[in-house]
Amino acid sequence: MKKADAAARVRELRERIRAADHAYYVLDQPVLADAEYDRLMHELQAFEAEHPELVTADSPTQRVSGAPSERFERVVHREPMLSLGNVQSDDELHEFDARVRRLLGLPEGEAVGYVVEPKLDGLAVELVYRDGAFAGGSTRGDGVNGEDVTANLRVVGGLGANRGVPHALEGRPPPRVEVRGEVLLFKEHFEAMNRQLVRAGEEPFANPRNAAAGTLRQLDWRVTARRPLSFVAYEALVPGGDPWRTHWDKLEDLAGWGFETNAENRRCRGIGEVLAYRDRMAERRFELPYDTDGIVVKVDDLDWRRRLGAASKFPRWAVAFKYPPQEEATRIRRIWASVGRTGVLTPVVDFDPVRLSGAMVARATLHNEDEMRRKDILEGDWVLVRRAGEVIPEVVKPLPERRTGAERPFRFPAECPVCGARVVREEGEKVYRCTGAACPAQLVGRLCHFAQRRALDVEGLGEKLAAGLVERGQVKDFADLYAVPFEVWQQLFSRPRKEQDATAARELPEKSAQNMVAALERSRSTTLRRFLFALGIPQVGEATAATLARHFGDLARFMDADEEALLAVRDVGPETASEIRAWTQEPQNRRVVERLLAAGVRPEAEVVEARGPFAGKTVVLTGGLSAMSRDDAKAEIERRGGKVSGSVSRKTDLVVAGEEAGSKLEKARSLGVRVVGEEEFVRLLKE
Ligand code: IVH
């Protein structure tokens, strides 16, 4: 590669790594899978090795990531908290061992004693103890400066999750000792906490590490106290020199002082034993009650450790072996096309169930035909599968060497598997679509979309009922919903209980039918915003629907708007404008809208007040409100001319933080966005 090209790629890599670092360490919202991040970092390292003249002091390869946040007091670590060099192969582990031996000048045949520990996937912290009493603690931050999170650390382990952060040490600790370790959430606690967040209408955390980091970096320690964080110790430092001969002795003292140390830690003689430990742990990692992403290998003899010292960023006496993302081989049983609400056919791959990242997986979806062709995936193939980000099942690649000749390429059906209508892939399109306007699969999806709470809010109308209506030929479009005879509702509600929607299952059929009719009646008076969203126009989500409603003010003006008029709407680009125009010009769609109006549906423009504290403002809601639901709060803000957004950015004017507000509140504080609590919010609504 030419030098100019290399320089451009290096710049690009650094930018992507910095953005990912910021998202991970400061916002606690990762944007890259670990493996992808490591790949970028390795690529950058390779470029810099080849073109040393391109290395700069601020390159991500030259420093520890994770700038400390300005929300907390800074703490300067007495000794920097280094991070670890990463290796991923046996060869690299052997190289590490060879370097240690070379630097120490060990004779051939003398094995190095190592301590091996699971690499815990949490947040590194340092705790300072004076005369055995907890005196303060901080996050790693950028390795030199950390964040003072003393108040939060004091309540780690308070729920009896494990021993947590001891307030006073047992035994006879030195007058000052700095204890380092990992704050983390056990998987079981993480799942319980996410369930609670979802119930409260909050975003769940992506993984235990983010949950632990988000919780420890709360401004209100009471929030931290309610969550079952744990602390596991793995290092101790004493000013003036270590009183221990080996790392193992140190771990024993830590346990004796009352810290939790990892029961999986082991002593190994030579790198061979390290490899065996690594293999055992890699197999068992998903059985452990906490997340691990590798193992850490440390030279046990502390004298040797001092002699080995550290390079600018990593110690030479330790290394982390990172597990590769887990992949398993399995055989594809069947590929089929699933039809969604918009008529798009998605290839679904069913394979023999395999255990991946701790769960059984038997199905993955591919984006579209191109991905399937590019990856060369055939029905009957043996394939490697994994869970992207250890979550979403994904087919990585086929294993062509295991083909028998019986494998067949999957062809998209010419006819929709649900309604039999023609399936087409238009020129320039990536996807196949069912052209059946009355396709039951599309129709059921569209009806559910139409009836959902944030659209026309027809309470009690879920997938089972919608499918029942479509199956009986009662409903061909939204407007038909308002003409379903009472007896049909009654019949649908008398079906065996397990087939009904859960909410309706407990009532008598007649009562349920009455409720449904009443819900439909209520849905007739709605807002233009909800109505436009309910129609399911491609590209028109809730936010765009709100903007369109505000802009056009009434339905007729919207239906007749040409592309130019649509382009004049804030946030509407050429693609959306052309999709909307295509939709409103389709005679079938116009007929449905007319029939909805004829059925008595009245989409009213919302009165938007041009003045007041919310007019023209972008507001983010986070945490639970006690006086109203989140949907109601949103409606109140929008009625006052405000826009509600899901994420905090520099463009946010106001954040309303309720109970247990999490990362959004932190982000607002870090960006200096105005934050109000529920009481103040209610007062502003009254203004
Ligand atoms: S030792 C210089 N031991 O890995 C020694 N670190 O990449 C560094 N980590 O910031 C710390 N488990 O967050 C050590 N058993 C373990 C660890 C561990 C996880 C993390 C820690 C550190 C990062 C270094």
Q: Residue 665: give its domain's CATH number.
A: 3.40.50.10190
308-329 mean pLDDT: 89
Cα–Cα distance measured from residue 129 to residue 526, given in angstroms and rounded to the nearest whole number: 62
- The burial of 371, by beta-carbon neighbours within 10 Å (0-12 exposed, 13-18 middle, 19 or more buried), is given as middle
Q: Are residues 313 and 350 in the same domain?
A: no
Q: What is the pLDDT of residue 496?
A: 60
The distance from CA 35 to its chain's CA centroid, rounded to whole angstroms, is 15
Residue 302 has pLDDT above 90, yes or no: yes
CB 49 within 8 A of CB 229: no
Residue 400 has pLDDT above 70, yes or no: yes
Q: Are residues 535 and 568 in the same domain?
A: yes
**Residue 288 CB neighbours (<10 A):** 17
Per-residue pLDDT band for 499 (boundaries 50, 70, 90) equals very low
Asked whether residue 281 is assigned to any structural domain, the reply reads yes
Q: What is the DSSP string of 494-506?
A: TS-GGGS-GGGTT
Q: Are residues 277 and 397 in the same domain?
A: no
Q: Whose CA is nearest to atom 2 of ligand 1?
A: 82
Higher pLDDT, 63 or 499: 63
Q: What is the pLDDT of residue 70?
A: 58
**Residue 195 CB neighbours (<10 A):** 11
Q: Which amino acid is at 578?
A: S
Among 351, 385, 402, give the residue marking a domain's end: 402
CB-side neighbour CA atoms (13 Å) of 102: 7
- Percentage of the chain beyond pLDDT 70 is 92
Q: Which amino acid is at 142?
A: D
Q: Are residues 99 and 227 in the same domain?
A: yes
Q: Are residues 276 and 256 in the same domain?
A: yes
Cα–Cα distance measured from residue 182 to residue 209, given in angstroms and rounded to the nearest whole number: 10
Atom of ligand 1 nearest to the CA of 320: 7
Q: Are residues 51 and 102 in the same domain?
A: no
49-72 mean pLDDT: 69
Residue 62 DSSP code: G
CATH number of 34's domain: 1.10.287.610
Q: What is the pLDDT of residues 123-142, one digit of tens each?
A: 999 999 999 999 999 999 88
CB of residue 266 inside a 6 A radius of ligand 1: no
Q: What is the DSSP string of 564-610?
A: HHHHTSTT--HHHHHHHHHHHH-HHHHHHHHHHHHTT-EEEPPPPPS
Distance 83 CA to ligand 1 centre (A): 7
Q: What is the pLDDT of residues 174-193, one digit of tens each?
A: 999 999 999 999 888 888 88
Q: Which amino acid is at 341?
A: R
590-612 mean pLDDT: 85
Q: What is the pLDDT of residue 504?
A: 43
Asked whether residue 422 is assigned to any structural domain, the reply reads no
Query: Whole-prediction pTM value?
Result: 0.52
Asked whether residue 420 is assigned to any structural domain, the reply reads no
Q: Are residues 522 and 584 in the same domain?
A: yes
Q: Are residues 108 and 150 in the same domain?
A: yes
Q: What is the pLDDT of residue 312?
A: 74
Residue 495 has pLDDT above 80, yes or no: no
Q: Whose CA is nearest to atom 24 of ligand 1?
A: 83
Distance 524 CA to ligand 1 centre (A): 60
CB of residue 34 inside a 6 A radius of ligand 1: no
Cα–Cα distance measured from residue 578 to residue 343, given in angstroms and rounded to the nearest whole number: 18
Nearest in space to 685 (alpha carbons), one of 605, 615, 607, 629? 615
Most confident range, picked from 62-76, 217-231, 395-409: 395-409
Q: What is the pLDDT of residue 51?
A: 83
CB 40 within 8 A of CB 13: yes
Q: What is the pLDDT of residue 68?
A: 54
If phi > 0 it is left, if psi is from -120 to 50 it is alpha, else beta; for residue 457 that is left
Q: Are residues 315 and 342 in the same domain?
A: no
In the annotation, is 119 catalytic? Answer: yes
Q: Whose CA is nearest to atom 21 of ligand 1?
A: 124
CB of residue 124 inside a 6 A radius of ligand 1: yes
Among 584, 606, 628, give the residue marking a domain's end: 606
CB 138 within 8 A of CB 126: yes
Distance 295 CA to ligand 1 centre (A): 9
Cα–Cα distance measured from residue 686 to residue 684, given in angstroms and rounded to the nearest whole number: 5
Asked whether residue 68 is assigned to any structural domain, the reply reads no
- Looking at 137-141, 312-316, 516-520, which range is the least confident one? 312-316
Q: Which amino acid is at 604?
A: E
Nearest in space to 639 (alpha carbons), one of 620, 614, 657? 614
Per the DSSP assignment, residues forming a β-bridge with 422 are 415
Phi/psi of residue 254, nearest 5 degrees = -55, -45
CATH number of 377's domain: 2.40.50.140
Q: Are residues 550 and 577 in the same domain?
A: yes
CATH number of 186's domain: 3.30.470.30
Measured CA distances, 654 to 70, 547, 619, 664 (Å): 20, 19, 5, 11
Asked whether residue 408 is assigned to any structural domain, the reply reads no
Q: What is the pLDDT of residue 218?
A: 83
Among 402, 421, 453, give the residue marking a domain's end: 402
Atom of ligand 1 nearest to the CA of 314: 2
Cα–Cα distance measured from residue 564 to residue 558, given in angstroms and rounded to the nearest whole number: 12
From 2, 3, 119, 322, the catalytic residue? 119
Per-residue pLDDT band for 503 (boundaries 50, 70, 90) equals very low
Higher pLDDT, 249 or 587: 249
Atom of ligand 1 nearest to the CA of 118: 15
| Nearby residues of 371 by Cβ (< 8 Å), 6 or more positions away | none
Per the DSSP assignment, residues forming a β-bridge with 148 are 138
Distance 81 CA to ligand 1 centre (A): 9
Q: Whose CA is nearest to atom 16 of ligand 1?
A: 119
Atom of ligand 1 nearest to the CA of 82: 2
CB of residue 83 inside a 6 A radius of ligand 1: yes
Higher pLDDT, 661 or 24: 661
- Looking at 30-34, 287-291, 478-482, 596-600, which range is the least confident one? 30-34
Tally the domains of the chain.
5
| Nearby residues of 57 by Cβ (< 8 Å), 6 or more positions away | none
Distance 23 CA to ligand 1 centre (A): 20
Token digits for 456? Answer: 């026309």
CB-side neighbour CA atoms (13 Å) of 482: 20
Cα–Cα distance measured from residue 350 to residue 329, given in angstroms and rounded to the nearest whole number: 13
Asked whether residue 415 is assigned to any structural domain, the reply reads no
- Percentage of the chain beyond pLDDT 90 is 48
Q: What is the pLDDT of residue 505?
A: 45
Q: Are residues 527 and 566 in the same domain?
A: yes
Residue 622 has pLDDT above 60, yes or no: yes
Distance 475 CA to ligand 1 centre (A): 60
Cα–Cα distance measured from residue 686 to residue 680, given in angstroms and rounded to the nearest whole number: 10
Helix, strand, or coil here: 63? Answer: coil
Residue 214 host element (H or E): helix 208-216
Q: Whose CA is nearest to atom 12 of ligand 1?
A: 119
Atom of ligand 1 nearest to the CA of 119: 12
Strands 618-622 and 643-645, sheet pairing: parallel
Residue 641 DSSP code: T
Cα–Cα distance measured from residue 484 to residue 491, given in angstroms and rounded to the nearest whole number: 11
Helix, strand, or coil here: 200? Answer: coil
Higher pLDDT, 253 or 47: 253
Distance 318 CA to ligand 1 centre (A): 9
Distance 56 CA to ligand 1 centre (A): 26
CB of residue 80 inside a 6 A radius of ligand 1: no
Per-residue pLDDT band for 353 (boundaries 50, 70, 90) equals very high
Atom of ligand 1 nearest to the CA of 265: 15
Measured CA distances, 229 to 153, 159, 160, 162 (Å): 9, 8, 9, 8
- Looking at 32-36, 257-261, 292-296, which range is the least confident one? 32-36
Q: What is the pLDDT of residue 26?
A: 58
Q: Are residues 597 and 635 in the same domain?
A: no
| Nearby residues of 114 by Cβ (< 8 Å), 6 or more positions away | 267, 268, 269, 270, 271, 273, 274, 297, 298, 299, 300
Residue 497 has pLDDT above 70, yes or no: no
If phi > 0 it is left, if psi is from -120 to 50 it is alpha, else beta; for residue 235 that is beta
Distance 193 CA to ligand 1 centre (A): 25
CB of residue 433 inside a 6 A radius of ligand 1: no
Q: What is the pLDDT of residues 233-267, one digit of tens each?
A: 999 999 998 899 999 999 999 999 999 999 999 99
CB of residue 305 inside a 6 A radius of ligand 1: no
CATH number of 514's domain: 1.10.150.20
CB of residue 320 inside a 6 A radius of ligand 1: yes
142-155 mean pLDDT: 91
Asked whether residue 73 is assigned to any structural domain, the reply reads no
**Residue ranges making up the domain that contains 531:** 434-606
Asked whether residue 24 is assigned to any structural domain, the reply reads yes
Q: What is the pLDDT of residue 279?
A: 95
Residue 445 has pLDDT above 90, yes or no: no
CB of residue 140 inside a 6 A radius of ligand 1: yes
CB 424 within 8 A of CB 415: no
Q: What share of the chain is helix, strand, coil (3-state, %, to 5)?
A: 40, 20, 35
CB of residue 513 inside a 6 A radius of ligand 1: no
CB of residue 232 inside a 6 A radius of ligand 1: no
